[in-house]
Each structure stands twice: as C-alpha cells, then as structure tokens.
Structure 1
Amino acid sequence: MIEELLPAEVSCAETVTDPPEVDLFPEEEEIIARAVGKRRREFSTARWCARQALDRIGVAPVPLLPGERGAPQWPAGVVGSITHCAGYRAAVVAHQEKVQSLGIDAEPHEALPDGVLDAVSLPTERTHLTELSTADPTRHWDRILFSCKETVYKTWYPITREWLGFEDARLELRPDGTFTAGLIKTGADQAGRPLTAFTGRWLVANDLILTAIAFPAS
C-alpha cells in the first residue's frame, strides 16, 4: 500500500504480520536485549522490511541503529523512513542523489483520544478539519492530520537536525489524498535554500491511515 504514495525511485517494503524469526545484527540485538515482546517485534520486523527495501536498490544489509531522537541511521548515501503500528510495519529507502529526505507514518483509522487534537493542531487546522468532516464524515480527519504531521517531522529532521513541533507546520489536507505542510519554523535544505513547505500524500485502506513525503534532491 505504501508504494502507492511514493515515486518510483523510492523502494518500499511492508508487512501486516511479524515474521517468526528475524536475524538481527549483534548491535541491534543489544539495543532490544531487555525489550518487551511488543517492542522487540516492532523493532525486528521494521528492520526486516528495511533490509528488503535496501536490497532492492542494491545496498547490502547493515545494522540500523537508532541515532539522535531515535531516527534510524541509514547507510551512507541512503535516506529512509520506518513506521509501525498495530498490524502494520513498513520501511522506505532511496538513494540520496535522487531523494533528499523521506517520511512515512502509519496509524489506525480511528479518532484521536480526547484532548490530543488540541495539543497537535492549530486553530485554523481545526476549522479546516470541521469542514472536511462535514463533507466526508467517514474519514477520521483528526488522525489523518496527526499522521501527516508525524510524516512532516520525519522528513524535516534528517535535513535540519532540529526539532519541529506540531505547531511549527500548518497543514492543508485535500480529499484527493494529498496534503501540503506550510513550515512556520525556518530551516534550510541541504543546498542551503529555505525550506518553506512539504507536499505529501495520504491513504486510508484496511482500517489504516498511511502518509508519506518524498522530498526531492536538490
């Protein structure tokens, strides 16, 4: 499903089940040595997906260790993103010469818990969600917005190495499965040009929300 949201130069791998056995590098095993079963399954299957995606672009498997703020450290010359939620794991990768940064997120297609929307959205976004909900009440637009914001952060951080809060991007969701994130916080791409916005895509299928951004290379 995730490949529907991304260009051809991005390699994708996903699964809705956890493989019974996943071979991890010793460095990866050390990270989850004391992890509970749920965390271990998420970590292991996400790396299983990542290795499949890397293989498809001709990159040999390497340990994928969490770096600063938990983001995976990808091989040199590669960008990527990982996501997991109940019943879904995915990884996407691309050569950095083709794509500057990637972000993906998966969420259950259900409403956000009470109080969360106010914490992750701007007043103008909440007005926008009301309009979308009136036009199409079958979608949980609040959770779609949340997922898109998670994807925006995952795309922003590898470029800038700076925090981006929920209040630092103003989203416009479109019923056609696209979205735009206007960046309120200032930042620059890898060529030093101002980052002003990201565009991405979203999908609702099989009780899941999937969102993705592929920010092109300079």
Structure 2
Amino acid sequence: MFFVPGKHKDHGLPYNPFKACVLPRPIAWLSTQSISGVCNLAPFSFFNAFADEPPIIGVGIAPDSREEGIKDTLRNIVETKEFVFNLVSWEQRTAMNESSKPASADVDEFEEAGLEKLPSQIVKPPRVKGAPVHFECKLFKTVDLPKDESGKHYTLVLGEVVGMHIDEAYLTDGMVDATKMKPLARLGYQDYSVVNEVVQLVRPSA
C-alpha cells in the first residue's frame, strides 16, 4: 500500500498510521515552571536523544487548541530556558496519563495527578518522585517546523542535559537495567508498550 501523507482515508484507513509505524517511542514526561512559579507536568511522545557529547534531547510539541496556540510547557521553556525530563515507568503509567489532561496555566499537574515533587540541583522545575531517571535540561534552541493546512505548526525543542539523576535501584553491575526500570513507550493510536525483555547484539568489527 502506498499513499501520500494525509490521504490515508482514501485507502480505507480510519486513522493516520504515521505514529503507529514509528515505534516504540520514548515518552518525554516534562516538568516545567512558569515565571510566576506554577509547576507544569505533561507527556509528549515525539521525543528522543540526538547527541551525547554534550547530551542533547529533542521534543516535538504540538500547537495548543486554545486561541493563543501555545502549550504551557512550551511557553514555560521559552520563557525560563529550563525543563526536566522524567522517565515514565510502568508503575507511573496512570499518573502520566492523568497529567496529559488539558488544564489551564494556573493548574499544577503534579497535584492533579497525585504526584510528589523532588527538588532539582541545577534548574528550578521540580522532578517527579518515583521516576527512575531525571534529566535536568537547559534550552539549546527551538525550531518552528512546517505549518499544516490551518497554519499551525509543531515546535522542536532541543535541550542540553546539564544534570542527571538515576535511581541506583535500577542499576545492575553499574549499568542501567531496562528490565528493572520497565520504561513505558508510546505506540500508535491509544496504545503503549513496556520493556520487559532485552536482547543484546554485539556490533561487528570492521
């Protein structure tokens, strides 16, 4: 089957399969803080790492459906230049999903999702207690991605990781153990996956 993006319904597909074909995707559970001090927490599924020296992560943030057209997370990052990535584990899947609920800028999603805050070491936004990994990040740059037919666009946020927290309970012989963490991953539609098994492939030499 071949089709041009956006023309999936012409081929009998009820939903756009793009995200269902780019899988699994890690979830960027981002905590930010407004310039007035209100904490925000929200998950984003267009996320990955792009470099490790220095470590750079990137998050694609969709335009908001409200009139101002910008999500609280993006506004906070642009205004404060800081954010925290919290890794979503299987145990916190329900809280993560709860924090995706649309809310006004004056709502603290930590409180709405029943989550406790942990202080960060370098940046102001707090961390999610119980998350096995946290990256404290400083904004590197934002990139406006192409506009859609309505004139709206995603924004790519690139952040430099300036501090890392790893719960030592998830280390085995000094290495991160994914089977202990059980990180949650995004699939397509309303579907998720969890890492329960790891297969090692040794890269061949030249």
TM over 0.5: no
Higher helix share: 1
Q: Which has the larger radius of gyration?
A: 2
TM-score scaled to structure 2, two decimals?
0.31
